[in-house]
Amino acid sequence: MAGKEKLWIQYKKKVLIIEDEVAILNGISDKFTHDGFLTLKATDGQTGLDKALKEHPDFILVDNLMPNTDGFYFLENLRKDKWGKNAKVIMWSNSHDSRTIARAKKIGIQDFMIKSEWEYRDVVKKVKEALGMKTGA
């Protein structure tokens, strides 16, 4: 039984979520887990970068405003890495600022999402679409 579970886990897509607000981090993480993903969690840019470069997740969801090292710190350093320069990333934030969005798009992201405008299930759907998975909707 344990062997089967391990095998199954190998096929699961891995999502790294970088979010300083623990309630949100746990909530969205639970949603991804519920929908069949393996999740990795980090609460600032540097921790997130370390996990990303070590674990090579299939997808990364990163907040913008975080204490110490923010989303841009993570993104800029990720793109310097050989693997990281092509990693799939969605930046999600409660900031609507056009300059923030433009800056993130210039560095290279799959999408920019306003947190308060999206249900968790729709965030998961968006990630599934970006990974070419069936959305079930």
Q: Which parts of this chain interact with another protein (CB under 8 A)?
A: 21, 23-24, 27-28, 30-31, 34, 65, 94-98, 114-117, 119-121
Work out how close the CB of 4 gets to another protein at its nearest, in angstroms, rounded to a whole number.
Answer: 24
Q: Which is nearer to another protein, 12 or 34 (CB)?
A: 34
Residue 85 to residue 68: CA distance in whole angstroms: 23
58 closest CA partner among 136, 128, 134:
128
Q: Which is nearer to another protein, 78 or 104 (CB)?
A: 104
Work out how close the CB of 27 gets to another protein at its nearest, in angstroms, rounded to a whole number.
Answer: 4
Q: Which is nearer to another protein, 21 or 81 (CB)?
A: 21
Work out how close the CB of 92 gets to another protein at its nearest, in angstroms, rounded to a whole number.
Answer: 9
Number of other CB atoms surrounding residue 44 within 10 Å = 19
> Residue 62: in which H helix or E strand, if any?
strand 59-63
Residue 63 to residue 27: CA distance in whole angstroms: 14
Angle at 108 between CA 120 and CA 102, to 5 degrees: 85
DSSP state of 37: -
Q: Which is nearer to another protein, 18 or 87 (CB)?
A: 18
Work out how close the CB of 35 gets to another protein at its nearest, in angstroms, rounded to a whole number.
Answer: 9
